């Protein structure tokens, strides 16, 4: 039973804690928070041992009556692996300050630069690269979405240049300090956005250019993907490839799913914690091929699509399972994802 600590019990951290606690080969030994916030209280109410991120802020927790099991240093000592879910760049600092000196394995999130880990990771594309590694970065929500579908196309067909336009949510639903905004922001203004190069940290041979804009929504990202085909392919063949790809879910406008709003309403019907949608949702009826170029729309639930990868990576790093599909199916089953 691998002992897992979560450093940073926020949007991603609380979801990874839940997912790890659903496994039979790993368990949560504690989580951290910077202050005795509602999230810290939720951690305690959920039965997790809580550790203070900053030793000099322990008094704040005592004053608020939120029980602590120790500080982050104690958690790093106790855990076999830390899932670092702190904000961008903090993870890289934690690696040098906490994990390397303590010889504790750690995983990082997509807000960190690629070189924080020995490899960047999406289990559907490169599970075996993480076998036995000490430091691995799970790629961001957008890169998970792009590599999940593009990796499937790349395995099945001879594909050429890829162009993807990312329409990104401005902030997560629980964040108020980044808004309200009523604008469409090219971000970045130059080409490419960082997402294309990030895809290449996992699939280096792909010829991909991405652009990105931020829009006033909190619920999902949308990708408009265009892929040149170097061979004759039918729309039905593409659909078959996506149907067989774990963690890809088809949705259709004919079922009333016309926008990300209906996707999130659909997700609420699934009854998962936080109404999460771990799968990359592809509009089946958007898949079209014109002049040997494939077009499709996909949407990403940014708060949760990386969660299954965060479980698989632990299994790979401890070589609990060397067969990618066995780990993916085990994680899927535990989280109610259809394989």
* Cα 312–chain centre separation: 12
Which of 55, 87, 188, 256 forms a contact with ligand NAD (CB under 6 A)?
A: 87
Record the tokens describing residue 74, joined without a space: 């104690």
Q: Of 294 and 309, which has the nearer Cβ to ligand NAD?
A: 309
Could you confirm whether 125 is annotated as catalytic? no
Q: Which of residues 158-197 bind ligand NAD (CB under 6 A)?
A: 172
Q: Any contact of residue 140 with ligand NAD (CB under 6 A)?
A: yes
The single-letter DSSP state of residue 214 is E
Q: Name the segment binding ligand NAD (CB under 6 A); options: 83-91, 280-288, 289-297, 327-335.
A: 83-91
Q: Of 87 and 132, which has the nearer Cβ to ligand NAD?
A: 87
Q: 127: closest CA among 305, 327, 329?
A: 327
Give the helix, strand, coil percentages of the chain, each rounded to 5.
Answer: 40, 25, 35
Which of 110, 114, 117, 324 forms a contact with ligand NAD (CB under 6 A)?
A: 110
The DSSP string of 19-57 is HHHT-SSEEEEEEEESSS-HHHHHHHHTT--EEESSGGG
Q: Of 71 and 159, which has the nearer Cβ to ligand NAD?
A: 71
Q: Name the segment binding ligand NAD (CB under 6 A); options: 2-10, 56-64, 182-190, 253-261.
A: 2-10
The DSSP string of 64-130 is HT----EEHHHHHHH-SEEEE-SSTTHHHHHIIIIIHHHT-EEEE-TTS-GGGSSEEE-HHHHGGGG
Q: Any contact of residue 293 with ligand NAD (CB under 6 A)?
A: no
* CA–CA dist 211, 207 (Å, integer): 14
Q: Of 110 and 196, which has the nearer Cβ to ligand NAD?
A: 110
Name the active-site residue from 141, 146, 152, 225.
141
How long a stretch of residues is the chain? 339
Q: Any contact of residue 5 with ligand NAD (CB under 6 A)?
A: no
Residue 271: CB atoms within 10 Å: 8
Nearest residue (beta carbon) to ligand NAD: 10
> Minimum distance from CB of 40 to ligand NAD (Å)?
8
Give residues in contact with ligand NAD (CB under 6 A).
8-13, 33-34, 39, 53, 85-88, 90, 109-112, 140-141, 172, 302-303, 306
């Amino acid at each position: 039973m691998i002992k897992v600590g979560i450093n940073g019990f926020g949007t991603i951290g609380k979801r990874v804690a839940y997912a790890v606690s659903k496994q039979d080969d790993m368990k949560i030994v504690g989580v951290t928070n910077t202050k005795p916030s509602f999230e810290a209280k939720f951690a305690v109410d959920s039965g997790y041992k809580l550790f203070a991120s900053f030793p000099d802020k322990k008094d704040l927790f005592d004053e608020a009556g939120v029980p602590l099991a120790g500080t982050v240093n104690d958690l790093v000592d106790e855990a076999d692996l830390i899932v670092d879910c702190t904000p961008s760049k903090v993870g890289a600092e934690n690696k040098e300050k906490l994990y390397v000196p303590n010889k504790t394995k750690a995983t990082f999130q997509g807000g960190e630069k690629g070189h924080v880990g020995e490899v960047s990771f999406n289990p559907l594309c490169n599970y075996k690269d993480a076998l036995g590694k000490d430091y691995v970065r799970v790629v961001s929500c957008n890169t998970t979405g792009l590599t999940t579908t593009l990796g499937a196309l790349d395995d099945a067909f001879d594909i050429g240049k890829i162009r993807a336009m990312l329409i990104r949510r401005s902030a997560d639903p629980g964040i108020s300090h980044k808004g309200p905004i009523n604008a469409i922001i090219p971000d970045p203004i130059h080409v490419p956005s960082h997402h294309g190069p990030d895809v290449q940290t996992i699939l280096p041979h792909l010829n991909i250019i991405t652009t990105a804009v931020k829009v006033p929504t909190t619920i999902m990202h949308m990708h408009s993907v265009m892929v040149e085909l170097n061979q004759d392919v039918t729309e039905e063949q593409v659909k078959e490839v996506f149907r067989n790809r774990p963690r890809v879910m088809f949705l259709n406008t004919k079922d009333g799913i016309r926008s990300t709003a209906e996707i999130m309403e659909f997700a609420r019907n699934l009854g998962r914690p936080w109404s999460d949608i771990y799968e990359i949702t592809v509009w089946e009826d958007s898949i079209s091929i014109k002049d040997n170029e494939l077009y499709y729309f996909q949407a990403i639930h940014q708060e949760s699509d990386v969660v299954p990868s965060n479980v698989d990576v632990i299994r790979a790093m401890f070589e609990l399972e060397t067969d990618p599909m066995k780990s993916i199916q085990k994680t899927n089953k535990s989280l109610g994802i259809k394989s």
